[in-house]
Amino acid sequence: MNATRQLRDLGQSLWLDNITRSLLRDGTLARYMRDLAVTGLTSNPTIFDKAIEESGAYDAAISRGMTAGVPEEALFFEIALEDVVQAADLFLPVHESTGGVDGWVSLEVSPLLAADTAGTVKAAVSLWQRGGRRNLFIKIPGTPEGIPAVEEAIFAGVPVNVTLLFSPAHYVAAAEAYLRGIERRLAAGLDPDVGSVASLFISRWDVAVQDKVPAALRNRLGIAVAKRTYRAYRELLASARWKKLAAAGAHPQRLLWASTGTKDPQAPDTLYVDALAAPGTVNTVPDKTLLAFATHGEVAGVLAEDGGDADAVLAGFARAGIDTAALAGTLQRDGTRAFAESWNSLMRCIASKGPRPART
């Protein structure tokens, strides 16, 4: 049994952090599902920017849209929804067989809305309705302005992947927004079964401090933050507040490990998958990490519900001068900015593939 199936058997889902038209059409994604126990998929502006820039598979659709005068952003969502809906249909049997726990596909609202609560809610509802698939997550950033948008989207019945979370405090804010949305649905007599995941970014922590800490602490911060966040997750699931909602028919908002491709060439290429096995969670990985884990990954054990050595490790970083609370805010702002830059690059890429004006 390969390591990907071991994760599945202990209750962790592996989702692919990638989407391209060729991946969908040449059978690669179907093979990942069949052979590597992949049960979902996530996307983001950077992934789509790379896919559209490096492939001619989108050129004809872009040319038609540009000729018809469709604005770049609207044209992108037409293209993205076509891919995402195809992926959602591929994962639908998984979604159905797991009672809606797995088989999800994610599409993100425009990162330019990160500071616009009302605009984010409007975009989330619109994208979900246009997608027309019950296993479609809409990604909303867990920024200060995004958190109330998460609550409103959940209340509106839109499944949400809360992205750009970097700390236990960020996770708790996202979880409480989800709980409030579900509680409001129950109070209004609505179905409380609205799916959600909360995506905690891992590897960017270690990139941020790699030149600022002793060698003994290298590549340990992201995992320690994840362990402490997992403790908060387990505490929430054990709370009376959650048990009341579960009894009414709500599903847990699962904790998702994001950004789990290893960035340090000196570290194991499966570092963040090996270390973060935990029941009831999701790990979303790029193709390279998925294939590496399938061939030589090792499930090193299951995360302790109490966070294990997280507090001791984080204390070591504090002694080294790392303020993790402040750094979490910086990482979230930097991540928001990076996605906005990818978005702008994506719009330029689409514009560049449109028909050129005739020379006079």
CB contact at 8 A, 129 and 119: no
CA 335/CA 93 separation, integer angstroms: 33
CB contact at 8 A, 125 and 158: yes
CB contact at 8 A, 7 and 37: yes
CB contact at 8 A, 284 and 257: yes
CA 140/CA 147 separation, integer angstroms: 8
Backbone angles phi, psi at 238, to 5 degrees: -90, -5
Active site residues: 139
What number of H helices and E strands is found in the chain? 16, 8
Residues whose CB is less than 8 angstroms from the CB of residue 88 and which lie 6 or more positions away in sequence, other chains included: 105, 131, 133, 135, 136
